[in-house]
Amino acid sequence: MTARIFLKLIFGVLCVLVVALAAVDLLVSKIAETSFRETLERELVQKGRMLDLTLGDETGDALRRRTREIAEASGARITLIDHQGVPLADSEADVARMENHKARSEFVSALSGRTGAETRRSTTRNIDFLYVAMPHHLGAVRLAVPLAEVQSQVERIRRRMLISTALAFLPAFLVAAWFARLVSFKLGAIIDYAGKLAEGHFSARLGSIGSDELGILGSKLNDTGVKLERMFEQLQHEHQELEKQERIRKDFVINVSHELRTPLASIQGYTETLLDGAVNDPAHNVRFLHIIRQNAERLTNLASDLLTLSRTELGSQKFQFASYHASDLLRDCADAMRPLVQKKSLQLTVLPAPAGQEVFCDWKAVHQALCNLLENAIKYTPGGGQITLGADAAARQGFIRFFVSDTGMGVPGEELPRLFERFYRVDKARSRELGGTGLGLAIVKHLARSHGGDVAVESEPGKGSTFSFTLPDHDNGIGEHPLSGSSQDEPRVTAP
């Protein structure tokens, strides 16, 4: 690529030099010919004036002999005529055979007292001559020089001028070759880099090629490459996100369909049984109605959880942020869930937050998150177990950690990273048996992240689990800019 550009530039320079040389040749030839003719005319005029002094009153053969002698000395043909145009002497022709010259233009000027010059072909010699005539006391004298001599002198001058000009162009050609080499290198590098960009190699970079216009062009192409790389990475990320969202959507539809199928089938089955006559069976009708009500409540809870999760993920959930005492939030949740704790014969311990500790949050959202964690602990902790509800300082400065610990079955380490996903269950059969929707932990995660906090889990199989989330202890502006949990990192998980 570089060599091809270099050859094109050199060819262009050569064309320019050839055109310039031709122009110089044309102009110099014209100027040299004009200048030489003017010089020759002046010389002939000077020689003619000398002839006027040299040629005396000779006549006849003596005049013709004298004319030939002077012509040989001056190197020009000399013709002398009288006032009537009759040739008196000629250095190269027999005057007896020569016609009257009075009508010749140069003699017309000379006979009238002026110097005359003319260029034409000689009828005697049949070659082109330069004629210069001037007045003479016998009539007029004319000197003639063949134009071939003029052309010879012009050609010599032309050759010298062309050689000098060519030698003068040589340094210019060398400079042009160096410049062409430099430009071809830069253009080749730019073209190669543009080709890489066209092929999608956006991470490639063009090295520095100077600070001139081509260097600026290269710098702009580099900037373009950086922007294209960022755009491509962003598009890739967005594409991956779209694929992820599509997978989540498909999983969501499948999970929702699966979650709805069981209670709907149960409601439909028991309703048909009642319609078929069991409604009049006092031994079963009330139990069937209780089962229908339980499944209807399950559908209601599922719809409510889906609505809450959807609003939180989309950032459309309206929160009323204010400062609350952390201990009050723990007490309210414990009071709400105490009947379930007592029903299962569990022991609930509330560890109050540091005295006077406040959190900046939406009360309803935090109450729902704490209740979800506490309800989850109640479900998976066997009778007689221990559940601890509390709050302490988080590792992240400016945040308070709320936690729920239990002495339940625990969760295997490989299951921990997926616990906060929608509809994910470690033991699917038991979870459905216990009546869970599979959305409780996902709601906790999104509610916590909508407050600027995060969630975490620590668990060891057979020893229990600790679920926690963090909340800010002051107004950090999250109330004006609610966050969607989908943009946060994965929950922190800890397993032995």
Q: Looking at residue 398, what is its pLDDT?
A: 87
Q: Looking at residue 221, what is its pLDDT?
A: 80
Angstrom distance (rounded) from CA 285 to CA 290: 9
Q: What percent of the chain has pLDDT over 90?
A: 10
Angstrom distance (rounded) from CA 201 to CA 216: 21
Please give the C-alpha separations between residue 139 and each of 87, 88, 104, 113, in angstroms, as whole numbers: 10, 9, 14, 10
Task: Check residue 426 and report its DSSP letter.
Answer: S
Angstrom distance (rounded) from CA 472 to CA 4: 67
Largest distance between two CA atoms of the chain: 176
pLDDT classification of 130: cutoffs 50, 70, 90: confident
Listing DSSP states for 298-333 in one string gives HHHHHHHHHHHHHHHHHT-----EEEEEHHHHHHHH
CA R_g for the chain: 58
Taking residue 319's Cβ as centre, other Cβ atoms within 10 Å add up to: 17
Question: E strands within 365-433?
Answer: 386-393, 399-406
Asked if residues 287 and 274 have their Cβ atoms less than 8 Å apart, the reply is no
Q: Looking at residue 391, what is its pLDDT?
A: 92
Report the pLDDT averaged over residues 390-414: 88
Closest CA to 173 of 10, 343, 8: 10
Question: What digits encode the pLDDT tens for the residues 326-342?
Answer: 999 999 999 988 888 88
Task: For residue 50, give the amino acid letter.
Answer: M
Highest mean pLDDT: which range of 42-51, 154-163, 406-415: 406-415
End-to-end CA distance of the chain: 63
Task: For residue 495, give the amino acid letter.
Answer: A
Tokens of 179: 């410049």
Structure-derived torsion over alpha carbons of residues 360, 436, 387, 308, reported in degrees to the nearest 10: 0
pLDDT classification of 488: cutoffs 50, 70, 90: very low
Task: For residue 424, give the amino acid letter.
Answer: Y
- pLDDT surpassing 80 at residue 125: no
Q: What percent of the chain has pLDDT over 70?
A: 83
User: Helix H segments across 92-146?
Assistant: 105-111
Torsions phi, psi for 372 (to 5 deg): -65, -45
Q: Looking at residue 317, what is its pLDDT?
A: 65
| Burial category of 228 from C-beta neighbours within 10 Å (exposed 0-12, middle 13-18, buried 19 and up) | middle
Asked if residues 391 and 326 have their Cβ atoms less than 8 Å apart, the reply is yes
pLDDT classification of 388: cutoffs 50, 70, 90: very high
- pLDDT surpassing 90 at residue 404: yes
Task: For residue 446, give the amino acid letter.
Answer: H
Angstrom distance (rounded) from CA 367 to CA 345: 23
Degrees to nearest 5, angle at CA 368 with 480 and 244: 70
SS3 395: coil
Question: What digits encode the pLDDT tens for the residues 29-63?
Answer: 777 777 777 777 787 787 777 776 676 666 777 87
Asked if residues 397 and 471 have their Cβ atoms less than 8 Å apart, the reply is no
Strand partners, 134: 141
Angstrom distance (rounded) from CA 197 to CA 456: 44
pLDDT classification of 305: cutoffs 50, 70, 90: low
Q: Looking at residue 468, what is its pLDDT?
A: 92
Across 107-121, 129-143, 214-228, 381-395, least confident range:
214-228
Asked if residues 263 and 298 have their Cβ atoms less than 8 Å apart, the reply is yes
- pLDDT surpassing 50 at residue 65: yes
Higher pLDDT, 3 or 256: 3
Helix (H) or strand (E) holding 116, with range, is: strand 116-121
Taking residue 169's Cβ as centre, other Cβ atoms within 10 Å add up to: 19
Asked if residues 87 and 79 have their Cβ atoms less than 8 Å apart, the reply is yes
- pLDDT surpassing 50 at residue 213: yes
Exposure of 47 in the CB half-sphere (CA atoms within 13 A): 24
Tokens of 21: 């040389």
Exposure of 126 in the CB half-sphere (CA atoms within 13 A): 0
Report the pLDDT averaged over residues 285-308: 72
Q: Looking at residue 309, what is its pLDDT?
A: 60
Q: Looking at residue 14, what is its pLDDT?
A: 80
Question: What digits encode the pLDDT tens for the residues 341-365?
Answer: 888 899 999 998 888 889 999 888 8
Lay out the sheet containing 464-472: strands in order across: 347-351, 386-393, 399-406, 464-472, 455-460, 492-494
